[in-house]
Amino acid sequence: MAPKSLILIGVVILAYLAVDEWTRRGRPALRRSKARLSPWLNWKTFVPLFIALLLALLMARPFTGKEEASPPYLLSAYVVAVGVLVSWYQARRAERAVRARLDKQVADLVMAFRSTYQLQPAIFSTLEEARDKVDQPLRGWVTSTVQVFRVTSSASRALTKLRKKADNPYLHQFVYILEMSEEAGQKTVLEALEDLADRLRRHEELRNKTETEMGAITGQTRIIQLVSLGAIFIIAVISSLRSAYSSQTAQLFFIGLASIAVVASYYIDQMILSLKEKIT
């Protein structure tokens, strides 16, 4: 019978997987309200590493009454290594998610700017009002752009600063429209802004549709991860099973099977991310 503390750890791990699956399914809604300057500092990024350390400690416990059997230290080291890699991958993935959320922020800025520009055809005064309608990091970038204009009185320098903030095609198109506003009339600028807003709306709809269609594949990936993590947890908790992996051959065999699951999960996730990033 496993101690209650070990059972509690198992419940915590399964609860984390359930919450993570729920947040993945609700990602389109979360992306509308969530923006972080430093996503790699998110606590969720390091949860896989914490889980791996707990499993490794459980796996490396000495056997009671079985002095001849050595704990599966190789398996423990492998679990920690996978935890480190997964946390690193989560951090990289979070950075890519921020870039994806920037499209929605640009759409909010374009719509807010357009509605104000109709009544007040002054670029930087309009930007100053529209910035409150968007989340970070774009809000901070717009604030910095307005400050540069106030200090230098150079619209070109200020807009160039905004363009360099991110390699985002929609942000660059918005900046281009602002740059051309002095030569074009107000009606032309408004039409260009409306066209850009329409493309951003279609982009968001297509991205949400893709995420919905990929939900089944994502679910299968989560099942693979759940089965692998559950198997390691059971082995770590039950001494009779853990002792079966005291030999190096058995540990290498399990590592080989676990590696297949890890590589399969990574490959599927990369295919999904690649498909989403092709939507422009």
Looking at per-residue pLDDT, the higher value among 24 and 158 belongs to: 158
DSSP letters spanning 144-201: HHHHHHHHH--HHHHHHHHHTT---HHHHHHHHHHHHTTTS-HHHHHHHHHHHHHHHH
Torsion of CA 223, 229, 234, 237, to 10 degrees: -150
Model pLDDT, residue 23: 53
DSSP letters spanning 89-126: HHHHHHHHHHHHHHHHHHHHHHHHHHHHHTT---HHHH
End-to-end CA distance of the chain: 55
pLDDT band at 175, cuts 50/70/90? Answer: very high
pLDDT digits (tens, 9 = 90+) for 206-239: 777 776 766 666 777 777 777 778 878 888 888 8
For residue 131, what are its two tokens? 């910035």
Q: Round to whole Å and give the CA distance between 100 and 278.
A: 11
Average pLDDT (238-250) is: 83
Model pLDDT, residue 206: 78
pLDDT digits (tens, 9 = 90+) for 43-102: 677 888 888 888 888 888 887 765 556 788 888 899 899 888 888 888 777 776 776 788
pLDDT band at 39, cuts 50/70/90? Answer: very low
Model pLDDT, residue 5: 45
pLDDT at residue 34 is higher than 60? no
pLDDT digits (tens, 9 = 90+) for 112-167: 999 888 888 888 889 988 888 888 888 999 999 999 998 988 888 999 988 888 88
Q: Round to whole Å and give the CA distance between 109 and 98.
A: 16
pTM, full prediction = 0.59
Q: Round to whole Å and give the CA distance between 226 and 52.
A: 13
pLDDT band at 1, cuts 50/70/90? Answer: very low
Q: Round to whole Å and give the CA distance between 59 and 236.
A: 5
pLDDT band at 172, cuts 50/70/90? Answer: very high
Number of separate helices (H) and strands (E) present in the chain: 12, 0
pLDDT at residue 176 is higher than 50? yes
Of residues 199, 187, 193, the one with CA closest to residue 175: 193
At a CB cut-off of 8 Å and minimum separation 6, what does 142 contact?
A: 109, 127, 128, 130, 131, 134, 162
Model pLDDT, residue 183: 81
pLDDT band at 168, cuts 50/70/90? Answer: confident
pLDDT band at 177, cuts 50/70/90? Answer: very high
Model pLDDT, residue 240: 79
Torsion of CA 37, 38, 39, 43, to 10 degrees: -130
Q: CB neighbours (10 Å) of residue 187?
A: 8
